[in-house]
Amino acid sequence: MVDFGGWDMPVQYSGIIEEHHAVRRAVGLFDVSHMGEIEIRGPEAFSLVDYVATSAVSKMAVGQAQYAGMLYDHGGFVDDILIYKVAPDHYFLCVNASNQDKDFEHIRQMQARRGFDCDVEFAGERYAQLAVQGPKAGATVQKLTSTDLSGIRYYRFADGEVDGVAARIARTGYTGEDCFELFVAPEFAQRLWDRITAAGAEFGLKPCGLGARNTLRLEAGMALYGHEISASITPIEAGLSRNVDLTKDFVGKETCARQIAEGVKRRLTGIEMVGRGIARDGYEVYVDGAPAGWVTSGSPSPTLNKNIALCYVPAEHAVLGRTVHVLIRGQQVEAVTAPTPFYKRAK
């Protein structure tokens, strides 16, 4: 167990590699109740969400989830979030655990700036969240719910019941596999955990900790706040332009628009190690013999059997097949730029 942003969480249950493989091949269960939730309701709820988020919120249908950045005026990230449209005047935001206080304050300030008529509620204490991830995730959860899960497409959600309790059932996840994230009231979480564990036993369900969560999301090319994105990094540098809607006004738009038009100096890219060694978070990246960037996240990849990493390099080097070196304990070890995601599940 470790302190993860003030939360007591397991790095692993049985072992990172075993848990990782369980998610890719069968089903894994994660307690992600540490995540934050913010509810925005009222006549101008849409306007507020649309103003603070980079994404095309206006295109969302009720029952849809959308990934977005939330930026400062200068274009750097406050956080990355998932927006759930519950109703035209009701949005539910899932935010990073370590940023939830900051996110709430930021949204309130933006609300005050524009005078939007809506209610912003810090709802973290009202929700526990369990993530069921893997090819057998649907089969596992279906045993516990009367909601027809096949009717919930990827990045959609439904408010129904699981194990007899009210639940928001979202087909979203952080692993690159089929996924169900279940939001329930905290008093039901323990029992739900036990029920899911029992339901998934026949498929080989494994409880999974932070270690596997990280190796899975890295293979899937997903960003982690504080690594690929931060207050000093923009969505364009991070390769998240597709989550930026320039047709509307939003906080941080100027920088995004300028960078899309003029280009960026540094760019996030995937790399695979060629020489012997593991690139780790924070290691320096060398291009043509000189320090030129840094590793944001690096780790062995259990599914690909390689050592992979995401890193920032000068934009002109963020092309496939470029040789770079990673400084590992004083030695420059060869790596090559690679496409992301590193792993994509079969359709």
Partner 1 sequence: MYPSTFRYTKEHEWVLVEGETGTVGITHHAQKELGDIVYVDLPKPGAVVAAGKPLGSVESVKAVSDIYSPVSGEVTEVNEALAGAPEKLNEDPHGAAWLVKIRLSAPDETKNLMDAAAYQAYLGES
Site residues for partner 1 per CB under 8 A:
11-12, 15-18, 211, 214-215, 277-278, 280, 299-300, 302, 329
Residue 85 near residue 91 (C-beta atoms within 8 A): yes
Choice between 167 and 212, CB closer to partner 1: 212
User: Residue 333 Cβ, how far from partner 1 at the closest point, in Å?
Assistant: 11
DSSP 319: S
Angstrom distance (rounded) from CA 29 to CA 209: 9
Taking 3-state DSSP, the helix, strand and coil percentages for the chain, each rounded to the nearest 5, stand at 25, 35, 35
Q: List Cβ neighbours of 198 (8 Å cut-off, separation of 6 or more).
A: none
| 12 vs 64 by CB, closer to partner 1 | 12
Compare residues 18 and 272 and give the one whose CB is closer to partner 1. Answer: 18
Angle of the 210-219 helix axis to the 16-25 helix axis, nearest 10: 50
Q: At closest approach, how far in Å is the CB of 332 from partner 1?
A: 15
Closest distance between partner 1 and the C-beta of residue 212, in Å?
9
Nearest distance, CB of residue 1 and partner 1, angstroms: 13
90 vs 306, which CB is nearer to partner 1? Answer: 306
Long-range contacts of 85-88, Cβ-Cβ distance < 8 Å, separation of 24 or more: 85/57, 85/60, 85/61, 86/62, 86/159, 87/62, 88/46, 88/62
Query: In which region does residue 155 sit, left (phi positive, over 0), alpha (psi from -120 to 50) or beta (all else)?
Result: left
Question: For residues 258 and 280, which CB has a smaller minimum distance to partner 1 in the complex?
Answer: 280
Give the shortest CB-277-to-partner 1 separation in angstroms. Answer: 8
